[in-house]
Chains A and B, each alone.
Chain A
């Protein structure tokens, strides 16, 4: 890890002395690193209005995964943009340098911006802000597994906080597969040695899916099981998000 190649003598972070074998995660009786059950999500915490400078914003914390999403607009589209009857959605996901265990590795995930865009697009009523752009910017403060699902759920909450019209809140959950087992809401250690991963982004009250990604090796019965797990978790997650919005609304009335 430290002495990678002979490039300029950059710095390295000191690793622990004991060269333990990677803990065999998928033995018969393994326990998850944080002691959760296989089908148990981390406690989710949401709070809207994290950034005053934005039209709407939200902060989400799932275990050690912490993200902030700001929404700006609807505002003028870039000058070079063509005329458009419907609104535009612009998404960007970035990481802090200290988000990952090794400094500055978070920038590897350039695909997240496009995936966030695709996940949200179907949930937003773009016709409600013609000719303008809504910007959704996410910053992953600390990355500790299931980053993209957390960013997506948090972004839909921020959009709601900004008063952007949506068909429904968009909630997202992923599962990792390990030979026979399915593990929901995986942490970083689990994601690093999974056989496959499945992520669902859906609008629970409409029972519609906006994004589904499957990577790795899956059998059809297992995909079914994984999807059902995710859909149930999304429905529960959306309830938590809804109650967070209600709380914020009743606070502002007082």
Chain B
């Protein structure tokens, strides 16, 4: 490679890069006119997605999910609580979403990102309204002890479509969750039963063996951005910063609509646009379900 040639390559690259930073909208629209995204994807296509279960060894269930460069790490820790009087035979699921300062240049320590409580709330709402898990399955001794499942999601790299990735990692971690075998001792405290000494104990086992939760239906989501007449699935952070109209659709595995979220934005979503988004989501749900099934061959839904 000759030197002058290399220099020329560099200069032309710089120009495109400068154009991209100075006129993001024009750069974006020029690509759209050619029916292609700035990262080379077709409009309706989501980024490459991967799921890895069991990423956190010390947790009862965990998953690492990547959609493009957006990365989410979820771990579930099971603790014991006294159930409330209103629902003595139900456990509890607490969902938290964190955006630590490592994930994005806009998050600084001590100043939590605006998006994180929003996504947190959206996730709890989605998972509870999808009736994915039966809280009665988390009961141990009626009125005395029940499981409190802490589901914590950490965004390790924020590059758009945070809710989609967070939801996928949450359901993946729930599908990986193993409820430990426990017994109640004389003081009414719940203790772990390990395999070798389980027999000798005179304690009454309340959860005889490790088990998995039954997942009744699994919610999956797809976020689209609307710009003029274009619908773009699974936006990157760059695209999200240019276009303000987002639509997030959550469907379960049987194709039922669980939630639809369109937080304002300058573009009105006509029925036809919403229908197109739902159609894209339907395709995506199939794809995501097959990814999750591949990781979890013994899961039945």
Contact yes or no, B157 A50, CB < 8 A: yes
The answer to whether A17 touches B57 (Cβ under 8 A) is no
Residues in chain B near residue A139, CB distance under 8 A: 100-102, 154, 156
Contact of B82 with A9 in the complex, beta carbons under 8 Å: yes
Closest 5 CB pairs of A and B: A11-B79, A70-B102, A98-B75, A52-B69, A137-B101
A59-76: CB near B (< 8 Å → 1, else 0) gives 000001000111010010
Residue among B103, B183, B190 making CB contact with A53, cutoff 8 Å: B103
Query: Which of B69, B109, B148 has the most C-beta atoms of chain A within 10 angstroms of its own C-beta?
Result: B109
- Specify which chain A residues have a CB less than 8 angstroms from the CB of B201 in the assembled complex: 17
Contacts of A18 in B (CB 8 A): 194, 197
| Complex contact B109–A92 (CB within 8 A) | yes
Across-interface contacts of A14 in B (CB, < 8 A): 79-80, 180, 182, 189-192
* 8 A Cβ contacts from B85-106 to A: 96, 98, 100-105
- Distance in angstroms from B68 CB to nearest chain A CB is 9
* A12-B159 contact in complex given A17-B183, A53-B69, C-beta closer than 8 Å: no
Pick from A11, A94, A142: contact of B57, CB under 8 Å: A142
Contact in complex: B105, A54 (CB < 8 Å): yes
Q: Contacts A11-B80, A17-B194, A98-B152 given: A138-B182 contact, CB under 8 Å?
A: no
Cβ–Cβ < 8 Å partners of B108 in chain A:
135
Alpha-carbon distance A100/B194, docked complex (angstroms): 21
Q: How large is the interface on A (under 10, 10 to 19, 20 to 34, 35 or more residues)?
A: 35 or more
Q: Is the CB of B77 within 8 A of A16?
A: no
Q: Are B197 and A94 in contact (CB under 8 A)?
A: no
Residue of B nearest to A103 (CB): B77
Name the distance in Å between B109's Cβ and chain A's nearest Cβ.
4
| C-alpha gap A54/B105 in the complex (Å) | 7
Q: In the bound complex, do residue A53 and residue B237 qualify as a contact, i.e. CB atoms below 8 Å apart?
A: yes
Known: A13-B77, A15-B192, A64-B58. A72 touches B105 (CB 8 A): yes
Which residues on the B side are within 8 Å of A16 (C-beta)? 191-192, 194
Bound-state Cα–Cα, A13 to B78, Å: 7
* Cβ-Cβ contact count across A and B, 8 Å cutoff: 116
Indicate which residue in A70, A94, A96, A142 contacts B152 across the interface (CB closer than 8 Å).
Answer: A96
Instruction: Contact check, A96 vs B75: say whether CB atoms are below 8 A apart.
Output: yes
* B65, CB-defined interface residue at 8 Å: no
A15 to B183, CA, bound (A): 10
Q: Assuming A14-B191, A17-B203, is B58 touching A94 (CB within 8 A)?
A: no
In the complex, what residues of B have CB within 8 A of residue A146's CB?
none
Can you name the residue of chain A whose Cβ is closest to the Cβ of B147? A11
Within 8 Å by CB of B58, from A10, A75, A98, lies: A98
CB A13 to nearest CB in B, in angstroms, measures 5
Write out the residue numbers on chain B whose beta carbons fall within 8 Å of the beta carbon of A54: 102, 105
B189 engages A2 (CB within 8 Å): yes
Count, chain B residues at interface, CB 8 A:
47
Residues of B within 8 A of A (CB): 56-59, 62, 69, 71, 73, 75, 77-82, 96, 98, 100-105, 108-109, 148, 150, 152, 154, 156-159, 180, 182-183, 185, 189-194, 197, 201, 203, 237
| Nearest opposing residue in chain B for A2, CB measure | B189
Given contacts A50-B157, A53-B103, A72-B105, contact A98 B191 (CB under 8 A): no
**Contact A17 to B192, CB < 8 A, known contacts A51-B157, A103-B77:** yes
Does A68 contact B156, Cβ atoms closer than 8 Å? yes
One digit per residue, 1 when the CB lies within 8 angstroms of any chain B CB and 0 when it does not, for chain A 8-51 equals 01111111111000000000000000000000000000000011
For this complex, 19 residue pairs linking A to B, each with C-beta atoms less than 8 Å apart, are A9-B81, A11-B81, A11-B148, A13-B77, A13-B78, A13-B80, A14-B191, A16-B194, A17-B192, A51-B157, A54-B102, A72-B105, A94-B100, A96-B75, A96-B100, A97-B98, A103-B150, A139-B102, A142-B58
Bound: A17/B204 CA distance, A: 12
In the complex, whether A172 has a CB less than 8 A from a CB of chain B is no
B102 touches A51 (CB 8 A): yes
Task: Kindly list chain B residues whose C-beta atoms are within 8 Å of the C-beta of A89.
Answer: none
* A68 to B73 alpha-carbon distance, docked (Å): 12
- List B contacts of A156 (CB < 8 A): none
Give bound CA distance, A85 to B201, whole Å: 69
How far does the Cβ of B259 sit from chain A's closest Cβ, in whole Å? Answer: 26
A57 at interface, CB cutoff 8 A: yes
A11 to B98, CA, bound (A): 21
A70 with B101: CB separation less than 8 A: yes
Q: Contact at B58–A51, with CB atoms within 8 Å?
A: no
CB distance from B84 to the nearest CB of A (A): 10
Asked if A163 lies at the interface with its beta carbon under 8 angstroms from chain B, I say no
User: Does A115 touch B at the CB level, under 8 Å?
Assistant: no
